Amino acid sequence: MSEQIIALVAGATRGAGRGVAVALGEIGATVYVTGRSGGGRRSEMDRPETVEETAELVTAAGGRGIPVVVDHLEREQVRALVERIDAEQGRLDVLVNDIWGGELLTDWDAKMWEHSLDDGMRILRLAVDTHIITSHYALPLLVRNPGGLVVEMTDGTTEYNTGHYRISLFYDLAKVSVNRLGFAQGEELAPLGATAVSLTPGWLRSELMLDHFGVTEETWRDALAKEPHFAISETPLFVGRAVAALATDPERSRWNGQSLSSGQLAQVYGFTDVDGSRPDAWRYIVEVQDAGKPADVTGYR
């Protein structure tokens, strides 16, 4: 991979996507950051974060952030995005598919037959179709040079999701499908010298989650009074540094097709969260939270 990494983080307006973009900025990458909120408009999420803000954070971190407003369900917009990257850079080294946006569409308490079918099907389109469309147009550019990396961002490892129902049928299907996209693309990319993985953060302190608990990043520990297990949570930058570690690892092909977590990769690569810790959320969730034990992150971060 060339010294300066050229990356596309699709779905970088907020949350894990923003964290990934900023972490790639930390290693000096040029990062195209996309999302629907920008250019003075908001997506159906109606959140204040924008792709322009993310691009500024990338540049401030030491890279070059390039914001592009894109709806990844619109094929021509994605085609134009990739054509622009090709024209401006001539290559693409890293593709991160982090498009999502289904939180407000999910009725977490409804059975599948009670759930709005329109909302459920849109959840799947936002979570799966967007990733397929983006890879379809971006992979020919990514495989032009050997060594490319594709990261499919999801929630939960394949191992965990296989054995646990993820609250809602539509959410469950969405996140399981994205893990499979990482595996399947790995099968097709390996002969061309590229690597694909799926990657999950732990309990993410996204902007939406902080708002849910009525806290900020500075006061997040106040949420422990309501949810003690939130003590294992991590910033979006943590999973971002997992992507940066993969992108700079000349032996990243050893992970091809695998389902990975931020906490798992931190143990291998040695990166830390903003506070210097290495939260291993999925091990904690299995061994402490799901096991019904009192919240205690000792040995897990």
Residues with a catalytic annotation lie at 171
Residue 42 has which token pair? 């908001």
233: phi > 0 → left, psi -120 to 50 → alpha, else beta; which? beta
The three-state secondary structure class of 172 is helix
Residue 29 has which token pair? 């990458």
- Report the alpha-carbon distance of residue 150 to residue 147 in Å, rounded: 10
Size of the chain, expressed as the number of residues it contains:
301
- Report the alpha-carbon distance of residue 213 to residue 225 in Å, rounded: 10
Residues 268, 273, 276, 282, CA torsion sign: negative
Locate the DSSP E strands across the chain.
6-10, 30-35, 64-69, 94-97, 149-153, 195-200, 259-261
- Report the alpha-carbon distance of residue 104 to residue 126 in Å, rounded: 12
Provide φ and ψ at 31, rounded to 5°. -125, 120
Cross-strand bridge partners of residue 95: 8, 150
* Block residue for tokens 């949350």: 15
Residue 121 has which token pair? 């099907």
Residue 267 has which token pair? 């143990």
Cross-strand bridge partners of residue 197: 151
The helix or strand, by DSSP H or E, that contains position 151, with its residue range, turns out to be strand 149-153
